[in-house]
Structure formats: C-alpha cells, structure tokens
Structure 1
Amino acid sequence: MKEKKQEMFEKMQERKTEVKKVRKIVAIIAVIFVLVIGIIGLIGYNYVSSALKPVDPDATKTIAVEVPIGSSLSSIAALLEEKGIIKDARVFKYYAKFNNESQFQAGNYDLTQAMTLDELIESLKTGKVYREPVFTMTIPEGFTLEQIGNVIEKKTSYTQKEFMDLVTSDEFVQQMMTNYPDLVTEAVLADTIRYDLEGYLYPATYSYFEENPSLESIVEEMVAAMNNVVKNYTDVLAEKQMTVHELLTFASLLEEEATAQTDRETIASVFYNRIDEGMPLQTDPTVLYALGSHKDRVLYEDLEVADPYNTYKNKGLPPGPIAGAGKTSIEATLNPSSTDYFYFLADKEGVNHFSKTYDEHLQKVEKYLRKAE
C-alpha cells in the first residue's frame, strides 16, 4: 500500500515538473513572439516614417515626370517611385487616400526629391509645381562657354572668371570624363581644342531650390543634361559611325548658322555634301570663333586667320564644338535632308537660299545681299 502511494506521489511530482516546463516554454515562446511583433512593428513604423519624408531634403536637381491622361492614383504613385521622387508608392497612395486626395491632373512636371508628400500632392492637384525655385537660369542655344559664364555671373554670386577657371581646369574635366564617360571622352583633350568642355553644357532653363548652389553642381547639372539628351542617340551614332564629339561639333555649326526661319536639316545636308566632296565647309561662325570675337559681318581679311577652327582654311569639321547645341540641331545633324546643295546664304530677313552650283550661289549673293545694301 505504501509502495502504491509512493508511486502515485512520484508520478504527481513528475507531472508538476512537466507542467512547469511546459509553462516555461510557453512563456518563452510568448516573450519571443511579443519581441518579434514589437521589432516588426518598430521596423514598419520607421519605414513608414521614413517614406513620409522627402527622399533627399537637400536635392536641387529637377526630375521630369509625365503623368498621362487617365492615370490612376496607383499608377501615379508607381511612376513617382520609379522616378525616385518618393520612397514607397504604397505609402504615398495610402497617405493620399487618408487625406482624401485622389483627383490629380495629367501633365509634365519638374519635381525634386526634396519635395514633401504634401507638396507633391498639391502640385499634382493644381497641375503646376508647388515648390517654387529660389531662382532660375536660362542658357540660350548657341552660347559659348564665355557667354554662359556671363549668364552665371549675372544670376549667381560667381564671376565669369571663376566659371572659366572651373570648366578649363584639368581636375574638373577629368571628373566629368569619369562621371559621364559616354559623353566626355578623350576627344576633348586634343591639343587643337580651345576649351575642353565647349559645347558640352546643354542649353536649357535650370531651376535652383537653394540660394547658393555650388558652382561645380551648377556646371555638372548642365553636363548631365547634355548626357541625358545624347544618350538617346547611341544607336543612331553607332549606325552612322559618328562619335559624340563629332555630333556636338557638327550640331554646334548648325546652331550658329541658324536663324529664326532656318531649315537646319537642309543646312546639314550642305555640310555633309561638302565634306563628301572634300570641300571646306566655309562657315563664318567658325571664323568668328577662331578670332575670339563677335562681329556682325565677317571680312575677307578675317577668312585668312590661321587657326584650326577656321573652316575656310581647313577641310572637315573644326577640332570641337564652337557653342552649345540644342536638341533641334542635334537631331538635324543625325537626320539631314537629302539634297544636291553645296551653298547657302541667309538674306536680310533671315530666309535661307540654297544653291547647287557656285555660279548660282553668286547670283543669289548679288540678288539678296548686295542689292539689299
């Protein structure tokens, strides 16, 4: 009898021990579960909090975003995430829904990574960029580096000399070659080139969201803009066996020859025809660039200047661009008209007249220029 009681007692003790172990394990599992939930919640909270903030509060570069007609909130959110304007499309979508914002307008926007979600929503609602830049700066097509320096001097605290010192420094040129290897190549280092980065700063209107952006950032944004334009023509350049340097050089000639009513594709055909025939291009803007001065009229004595850029004295393209070309001139270079013209002139009204022969050209010179004097 005593033995049975002892056996029952021992079994009860074993059960109590097992129950304690089970409870201990359950408690540990519960603690781990709570910790995991807490960690996940903390990570989620931090992630959402981060996604509600601007991607880069100090960003100044604008990013072009096109919102198509009929875009849904989900597609707009996905587009903004793809462009790097926001961190998470889902957070933006739910934030907009929480604030009862969903009626956004289609259109083209220049947005920045420094914009808050509220600023983005306001921009998309009104159809215009809500975040106003501190200042804008327009670089016209056909401007040389020296002329760009003048614009920068007027719009910023930097002088033209500081600008020219930067764009002609070996260190900065090498940095641009490193950052944009498909655009700025070894071709810019030729001894005959006056300024390495001439023609490599894209003419456009730039917006700045801080009062004093660094000079380096201002210039690099212009180089980056040219890189973004030129990279669209990589396949065409390969097909034509033309380098980027040749493209920008040729396009700069069109830009400088252009008038308000000019036909750039036809002018391009004239240049190509002359190159194919081994004729010098004989374009006056290269003479002015060689002289380093701006004149309303090129004199016969100017045509004799001994300089690599003088296309009256040297056949083919000049050593490098003579100005910054816009997209229209770049595309005209790659898609010239098919003509038999070898000569052209612009009359007093800026209308171009093309000729197949030199005699025909002389007749038009007499008719449109000399008789008009």
Structure 2
Amino acid sequence: MGRVITLLILIIALVAGAFFLPKDLGSQEEVVFKIEKGEGSKEIAANLEREGLIRWASFFRLYVLTTGVSGRLQAGTYQFSPSMSIFQIAGKLASGDIATVNITIPEGFTAEKIQARVKNMVGLDMPDLEKHEGYLFPDTYKVAYGATGEEIVQMMLNNFDRKTASLAITPDIVIMASLIEKEVQTKEDKEIVSGIFWKRLESGMPLESCATIAYIKGIDQWRYSYEDTRIESPYNTYLNLGLPPGPIANPGLDSIEAALYSQDSDYWYWLSTPEGETIFSKTLAEHNYAKSIYLK
C-alpha cells in the first residue's frame, strides 16, 4: 500500500509540474505583454493564455493566489517568451520588471539627430526638441515600453541637471561646450581649444568655428569653402563676433568641463586632420602652412 501511495504522489507531482512547465521550452519568440492598471489576476491569466505564453490560465491563477503573488502583479509593458515558466512570468510581474529599450545618444548629437534616433528605435516624436538643444545629456537611457516622447526628453534634461549639479553652468558655458564638442575629440585638446576660444572672445576676434558652419549647413565636412563662411546666419562665427545665439549640439561632460576650466597656451589656431589629430599653431602663418600639409 505504501508503494502505491508513493507512486500516486509521484504521478500527481509530475502531472502538476507539467502544468507549470514553459509552454515551449525551445521557443526564441519574444512577446510584448501589457497589463493595464486595474487588471486582476483572472484577466492577466486569461491574456497570458491568449497570447500563447502559458498553457492554462487556471493554473497561473492558482499559483499566484496560493503564493500570495496575486496582489503584487504590477501594471506595465513586459517582454516574455513561451520558453518562460509560470514562476518566471509571475516573478517578473510581481517585481515590476517591465520591458525596456536602451537608447544611446552620442556626445555631439544635435536635437535633430536625437529625434531621428528615438523615432527609429521606439517610433516616438518629441515636439519642440530644438528648444532644449545643448541640455539633452548624451548617455544611454533605459526607456520603458510605453514611455512618451515628453518623458524621454525629461529623462535627458534631468540627467543634465544631475551631471552638472556641482558645476557653475551658465547658458554661455553650454554654448561654448557645444562648440568645443564638435571641434576636437580628446579632453586635452578640448581644454586647449576652449582656451583659444575664450582668448579670441576677449580680444575681439571672431571665433571662426567650422562647427558652426556645419550646424548651419547640416553637413559635417573636413573642409569648408570661403563661400560657406559667408552664409548669412546668426550662428556664423566667421561673420559675427561673440558666441552664437544658442548651442549647436549636445555636449558631453568633458566638453562642459573644458568650457569651464580651459587651458592657457600660446596657440591661436588649430586644425583637425582627416585622421582626427589636432594640429595647433601660434600664428596665422603657421596655421596656413599646417593646412597646406594636412588638408591637401
């Protein structure tokens, strides 16, 4: 009799276990599953079964009710697979482990490029993004499915505030940092270029930043023609003295710090080679010679 009871218990355990196994252990499919606020375990279980994520809604509901998980299932958008067990699915729902997508914004991206990337990755528009140019901090953002464009923008603005909280940030510093970001690559070069820019401002020289011509034209080039430098625009730092009226890109922390803590030098000019090397010059004659060598 004892053996029979043991066998029955074993059979029941195996059958019960089968009900809780993944619906398709070898599945590679990913399913986006959304729970609306106010949905209970009965509705959630039915939706999971309908989406092909579990075998039987009744067993999912039985599990969450008997384990006390039922009252902790959280609204949101999740990413599941038929290869996941009822335990795994319930665990993610109880912990609020919602589905996210990583959106990387490189240093120097303009608001226009940020909008294009976000639109391409999650299909969202971000209205009036240009008014935040310079303050959309470059970083990798973990964005929840279902987030709005406004929420993503606010994430970037809040990140800027956090990263620069200890710095003496002014609008002019952000504008200067955006120029530096687009001009040179290394932290050391950024600090030297910052010193040159501030020195030019103090002496009444035009900044003559090629980055502002790139911003006006919407095209990054190694060289710009004389005609390019004559384009009428308040952002043209060849024609207009002082800083442009606003940032031309969204700078990273190195560029912001370089704008604040510039490096004094005897240099007044520089150029960037096609390989990304920065060549500094003390005089215009030296600069013109460098151009003849490196920018043939």
Q: TM-score range by the shorter chain?
A: 0.5 to 0.7
Deviation at 1:332, TM superposition (A): 0.8
- Output the CA distance in 2 between the equivalents of 1:272 and 1:261: 17
What residue number does 2:128 align with?
167
Query: Going by fraction, where is helix more abundant, 1 or 2?
Result: 1
Are the counterparts in 2 of residues 143 and 324 from structure 1 also a CA contact under 8 Å? Answer: yes
- Output the CA distance in 1 between the equivalents of 2:140 and 2:285: 43
Structure having the higher Rg: 1
Are the counterparts in 2 of residues 290 and 308 from structure 1 also a CA contact under 8 Å? Answer: no
Q: TM-score, normalised by structure 2?
A: 0.65
What residue number does 1:311 align with?
237
Letter in 2 for 1:333: A
What residue number does 2:133 align with?
198
C-alpha deviations, 1:69-99, integer Å up to 9, x for none?
A: xxxxxxxxxxxxxxxxxxxxxxxxxxxxxxx
- Output the CA distance in 2 between the equivalents of 1:202 and 1:285: 19
SS in 1 for 2:118: helix
For residue 155 of structure 2, the aligned residue among 218, 221, 230 is 221
For residue 354 of structure 1, the aligned residue among 276, 280, 289 is 280
What residue number does 1:13 align with?
none
What residue number does 2:146 align with?
212
* Alignment partner of 1:156 is 2:122: yes
For residue 269 of structure 1, the aligned residue among 195, 207, 212 is 195
What residue number does 1:232 align with?
166
What residue number does 2:248 align with?
322
- Aligned length, in residue pairs: 213
C-alpha deviations, 1:23-67, integer Å up to 9, x for none?
A: xxxxxxxxxxxxxxxxxxxxxxxxxxxxxx89x987xxxxxxxxx
Deviation at 1:131, TM superposition (A): 5.3
Cα gap change, 1:262/1:345 in structure 2, threshold over 3 Å: closer, same or farther? farther
- Output the CA distance in 2 between the equivalents of 1:138 and 1:346: 26
Matched residues, percent identical?
Answer: 35
Q: Which has the higher contact order (CA 8 A, sep 6+)?
A: 2
For residue 143 of structure 1, the aligned residue among 109, 119, 134 is 109
Alpha-carbon RMSD: 2.9
- Output the CA distance in 1 between the equivalents of 2:223 and 2:290: 18
SS in 1 for 2:103: strand
SS in 1 for 2:195: helix
Deviation at 1:201, TM superposition (A): 0.7
- Output the CA distance in 1 between the equivalents of 2:148 and 2:292: 52
Q: TM-score, normalised by structure 1?
A: 0.52
What residue number does 1:292 align with?
218
- Output the CA distance in 1 between the equivalents of 2:264 and 2:186: 22
Deviation at 1:276, TM superposition (A): 1.3
SS in 1 for 2:131: coil
Are the counterparts in 2 of residues 290 and 310 from structure 1 also a CA contact under 8 Å? Answer: yes
- Output the CA distance in 1 between the equivalents of 2:175 and 2:208: 15
- Output the CA distance in 2 between the equivalents of 1:214 and 1:131: 19
Q: Which runs of 5+ in 1 are unaligned?
A: 1-52, 59-114, 120-129, 169-194, 238-243
C-alpha deviations, 1:292-314, integer Å up to 9, x for none?
A: 34445322111000100000001
SS in 2 for 1:263: helix
Are the counterparts in 1 of residues 222 and 274 from structure 2 also a CA contact under 8 Å? Answer: no
SS in 1 for 2:142: strand
- Output the CA distance in 1 between the equivalents of 2:106 and 2:97: 24
What residue number does 1:331 align with?
257
